Amino acid sequence: MAFYEYNVLVLVVVVAGTAYLQHRRGSKAAVSRSRGQDGEATRAAITAGDAVIWQFKKKFLPVYLLAFGSDWLQGPYIYTMYKDEKGLPEETVAYLFATGFLAAAISASFVGSLADRYGRRSASLFFCVAYALSCFTVLFDSIFTLFAGRILGGLSTTLLWSVIESWMVTEFHRQHLEEAGSLSDIFGIMTTLNGAVAILAGLFAQTIADVTKTQAAPFMAAVVLLILAFGFISSRWSENYGDSHKSNVDGLLPGSEEKEKNGLQYILQGRKSSEFFEDITDCFGPDKHLWALCITSSCFEGVMYLWIFFKFAALKLSHEAAGKGSELPFGTIFAALMCAMMLGSLSFTYYSSLATSRWVVSPSRLLTITLFVASACFILPVLVHDEAVTFWCFCVFEICCGIYFPSIARLKEQIVEDGVRAKIYGILRIPLNIFVVLGLMLTKAGKLRPDPPSLEPRLRHRENVFIICSGALAAAAAALGAFVAE
């Protein structure tokens, strides 16, 4: 298994080197700015701006990392908890997973609107409570309780991916922090730190599960993180709202009927044009920008969730096809993949710091390139049947994930208005969850085939899934590329 340990070591060195280069460039940029024309006044302004941004990060990042840390703690054991510890049939486990994604899709149609109306802070507090209750359901053997837990889990996942980021972006604009710092920098830091938390959470979850001899332990640890997040939100966050709250409080003003549109109507009928896309508004209707976001997020994140579901199985299949009988070091592989994601986010942050360079492409074009590369990561293992190639393609896909998340967050920040941010973020997750449910159905169908001594049927099924993923990513790249074409 030296192959995987060697790759982890290489990735750690590359990540450390990239982090050092980013820190060094940031330090040089700060010194260069401080030597500007205004001398002491410039240095004082930079210092004050850095302090304000630092205070903002201290207010937001602990909540963000605690919330996602609770999710990472559960991830490695959700399947095995149901399948092994609870002893549920494979088909029931598939139904539980599908129920969670369906609940996420249904809740996405209204939780964003409720968050905009009643407050993103309140919605974040509700997320902590709902997800904690979902974790507690694993302590019971009742199938009805377990299904209720997956419904709460689906609802909580929608809140996790919509209201927390919506609060941050709106608060950033409300405090007029654009002059003090960049949202691209914050998005890059979010993804980098989230990758580090994922590694630590995975190792910690495995440790406490081994020590306590129960796979419910990581879920209880997740509850502790959610309690801490609840405390941080309660004590540090102020409330912010969307346009629907203003309409509800002040009454709908003449000519402002657009404020009452639901999220789907904004996507179908159009919205106010974003300054970020002023140069192409004449060529394309403003609603098409939201369509591009919808297609991109649905395809990429849907493929990502499917990949999470079968990535270890795919590697194990390649391992067996090569005639190797030893077990794969899944913990080491997970660490390598998370290092790759951190490398992608660090690269994005470093690239964003080069914004003044002429050769730097726009966030939209960078994301388009990333989607095409991600598409190739799934088609290459179909053409080359090799365990190492499959692993490296997975690592490159994780690098693409590290670039994708801050890139798509930046685009959403630029395209979606603050007044309907949570509403739109929620709606964008509806097709994503439907995509995942359909994909899980396909994956389940493949597993129902007989398993003869030959691995050929399973290899063909894996290739079919990879081809679908590659095609979805290529379609997303083409759709997004069309809306940034000049």
Name, in order, each residue with C-beta under 8 angstroms of 399's C-beta and a sequence gap of 6 or more. 340, 341, 343, 344, 347
| pLDDT tens per residue across span 232-261 | 999 999 999 876 555 555 444 344 444 455
Name, in order, each residue with C-beta under 8 angstroms of 261's C-beta and a sequence gap of 6 or more. 269, 420
Nearest-angstrom CA–CA distance, 293 and 271: 13
Signed CA dihedral, 370, 56, 156, 424: sign only: negative
Q: How confident is the model at residue 160 (pLDDT cuts 50, 70, 90)?
A: very high
| pLDDT tens per residue across span 43-94 | 555 566 678 888 999 999 999 999 999 999 988 788 778 888 898 887 788 7
Q: How confident is the model at residue 185 (pLDDT cuts 50, 70, 90)?
A: confident
* Per-residue pLDDT at 117 exceeds 80: yes
Q: Output the CA–CA distances (angstroms, integers) from residue 448 to 52, 101, 355, 443, in the order listed.
A: 56, 21, 51, 9
* Per-residue pLDDT at 145 exceeds 80: yes
| pLDDT tens per residue across span 362-413 | 777 889 999 999 999 999 998 888 889 999 999 999 999 999 999 898 888 8
Average the pLDDT over 322-335 and give the result: 75
Half-sphere exposure of 195 (CA within 13 A, CB side): 28
Name, in order, each residue with C-beta under 8 angstroms of 365's C-beta and a sequence gap of 6 or more. 481, 484
pLDDT at residue 255, rounded to an integer: 41
Nearest-angstrom CA–CA distance, 78 and 76: 6
Q: 254 or 140: whose pLDDT is higher?
A: 140
How is 405-463 classified by DSSP, letter by letter?
HHHHHHHHHHHS-GGGHHHHHHHTHHHHHHHHHHHHHHHHHHHTS---SSSHHHHHHHH
Nearest-angstrom CA–CA distance, 155 and 114: 13
Q: How confident is the model at residue 133 (pLDDT cuts 50, 70, 90)?
A: very high
**Percent composition of the chain: helix, strand, coil (DSSP 3-state, to 5):** 80, 0, 20
> In a 10 Å sphere around its CB, with 0-12 CB exposed, 13-18 middle and 19+ buried, how is residue 251 labelled?
exposed
pLDDT at residue 27, rounded to an integer: 66
Instruction: Decide if 397 contacts 381 (C-beta within 8 A).
Output: no
pLDDT at residue 168, rounded to an integer: 94
Q: State both tokens at 187.
A: 């998005």
| pLDDT tens per residue across span 417-475 | 887 888 888 888 888 888 888 877 765 544 444 444 456 666 777 788 889 899 999 99
Residue given tokens 């937001």 in the structure block = 60
Runs of H (alpha helix) within 108-242: 111-118, 120-136, 143-174, 183-212, 217-236
H-run or E-run covering 21 = helix 2-34
Nearest-angstrom CA–CA distance, 81 and 64: 26
pLDDT at residue 413, rounded to an integer: 84
Instruction: Give the distance from CA 283 to its chain's centroid.
Output: 31
Q: Give me the long-range contacts of 195-201 (CB less than 8 A, separation at least 24).
A: 195/338, 195/339, 195/341, 195/342, 195/345, 195/402, 196/338, 196/342, 197/65, 197/68, 197/69, 197/72, 198/68, 198/72, 198/338, 198/341, 199/334, 199/335, 199/338, 199/339, 200/69, 201/69, 201/72, 201/73
* Per-residue pLDDT at 98 exceeds 90: no
Q: How confident is the model at residue 31 (pLDDT cuts 50, 70, 90)?
A: low
Average the pLDDT over 146-168 and give the result: 94
pLDDT at residue 75, rounded to an integer: 80
Mean pLDDT of all residues in the chain? 80
* Per-residue pLDDT at 127 exceeds 80: yes
Nearest-angstrom CA–CA distance, 78 and 304: 17
Q: What percent of the chain has pLDDT over 70?
A: 79
* Per-residue pLDDT at 167 exceeds 90: yes
* Count of C-beta atoms within a 10 Å radius of residue 421: 28
Angle 231-233-234 from CA coordinates, rounded to 5°: 65
Nearest to 438 by CA among 278, 295, 302: 302
Q: How confident is the model at residue 276 (pLDDT cuts 50, 70, 90)?
A: very low
Q: State both tokens at 477.
A: 């790249």
Q: State both tokens at 63.
A: 């909540």
Residue-range domains of the chain with CATH: 60-242 (1.20.1250.20), 263-353+360-486 (1.20.1250.20)
pLDDT at residue 447, rounded to an integer: 47
Average the pLDDT over 470-484 and give the result: 85
pLDDT at residue 139, rounded to an integer: 95
